[in-house]
Amino acid sequence: MEDGLCTTCQHVLFVKLTREEPYVMLKKSDKALVGNDRFEGFCIDLLKELASILGFSFEIHLVPDGKYGFQDDKGQWNGMIKEIMEHRADLAVAPLTITFMREKAIDFSKPFLNTGISILYRRPNSTNSGFFSFLNPMTPDIWVYILLAYLGVKLSLIFCYRFSPYEWYDAHPCNPGSDVVENNFTLLNSFWFGVGSLMQQGSELMPKALSTRIIGGIWWFFTLIIISSYTANLAAFLTVERMESPVDSADDLAKQTKIEYGVVKDGATMSFFKVRASEMSMIFWNRQSTSFVKSIEDGIQRVLKSDYALLMESTTIEYVTRKNCNLTQVGGIVDSKGYGIGTPKGSPYRDKITIAILSILEDGRLHMLKEKWWSSSSCLEDERYETGPMGIQNLGGIFIVLASGLVLSVFVAIGEFIYKLRKNAEHEQVRLIGN
């Protein structure tokens, strides 16, 4: 014995028959491996860290029935819990969920991973595009603001071309005595000028006064940004398939009857719904009692091949969805729980293992182990995100720029009017003096 731990801890249990990746897996090798070298995974690395800190060695054995541990109606346990209770093992290192019933049967260390129950479901097919899907790249309020901006430009043009003297010209230049003046920016022409610019087609109308040129320039800049943003986001909408799940939470799953759902038989999730007294849990238990699966791998295959949802631990779902791009997590976490290392009742190992777990948790080594086995993904990152419509938080700045330009043009038009008025007064005064 060393510091309360045996020199060689026999029968440290791992689960292989449930094929719980990435916790415990058979190591792929061209050579024939024996003993502990046959296995790899998160739990293997965790066990090695604990052995290094506490100074013990270990020998790995698999659970004969391949189960974690479930108590039947007669009070009998199976799986890892039974092995620990009957002292055929010193430690149970696996994704073994700490529950009330299991804690009554064996001792647990502090959790080394936190998890909860969530829903594994296949990625749904893309939704059919509607007749007006071309409006999707921008939110409805942006389309309303664009219409208001167009009307604002129209009103500003009406004011400036009426108020600025430089937009008026002699309708009969060959007749020096004519007092008839005209303006190209009529009511309809102002509308046409705005539409032509917005459609990137231009117009035969050209502003002459500085005030109307400011309006034209700022409106052209506005339409350039809006059209470019719309085109880019429309391309993203057409490239990235938008998904729509038939259920968004566990409540939605319980209220419907089209999608089958279930859990792994004799697991912690099954126990959770069996003993929980809430209405939703009763609905789950009554409906899924005929939809159990033997293992997580069987459940994954059923999810992929039929209209079936599997309720399981969220940490495993996170790993599975990174490896299979056809699967996704639906909704949030139903409850909160943790994975702990199991020991027999009164075992001298538990407290020391708990201290060691807290040590590698605080110094970041436990997080590094999780990143090692969970970080890799065979799915493109772009597939994990949906393209959203552009809202005011994306395009609000260009509307501010446009409004500022329109206000500036109004002040410039007033200045042009005052300047021309003074020039005409001076000219008239000179003419009178000359006469």
Binding site for L-glutamate: what residues are annotated?
95, 97, 102, 269, 313
Residue 6 near residue 89 (C-beta atoms within 8 A): no
Structure letter (DSSP) for residue 259: S
Residue 189 burial by CB count (10 A; 0-12/13-18/19+): exposed, middle or buried? middle
**Dihedral over Cα of 174, 175, 176, 180: its sign:** negative
Determine phi and psi for 114, rounding to 5 degrees.
-100, 140
Contact residues for 142 (Cβ-Cβ < 8 A; gap 6+): 389, 390, 391, 392, 395
Residue 288 near residue 261 (C-beta atoms within 8 A): yes
Q: How far apart are CA 83 and CA 119, in angstroms?
A: 30
Q: Where are the alpha helices (DSSP H) in 240-306?
A: 250-255, 268-275, 279-288, 296-305
**Dihedral over Cα of 107, 109, 114, 120: its sign:** negative
Take residue 325 and report the two structure tokens written for it. Answer: 């791009």
- Cα distances from 100 to residues 74, 262, 276, 395, in angstroms, run 17, 22, 12, 53
3-state secondary structure 15-67: CCCCCCCCCCEECCCCCCCCHHHHEECHHHHHHHHHHHHHCCEEEEEECCCCC
Helix orientation angle between 140-163 and 210-239, rounded to the nearest 10 degrees: 160
Q: How far apart are CA 70 and CA 423, in angstroms?
A: 99
Residue 291 near residue 260 (C-beta atoms within 8 A): yes
Take residue 180 and report the two structure tokens written for it. Answer: 């008839």
* Binding-site annotation, residues: 95, 97, 102, 269, 313
**Selection from 100, 101, 82 nearest residue 92 by Cα:** 82
Helices (H) and strands (E) in the chain, counts: 14, 14
Structure letter (DSSP) for residue 71: B
Residue 90 near residue 352 (C-beta atoms within 8 A): no
Which amino acid does the sequence have at 341?
I
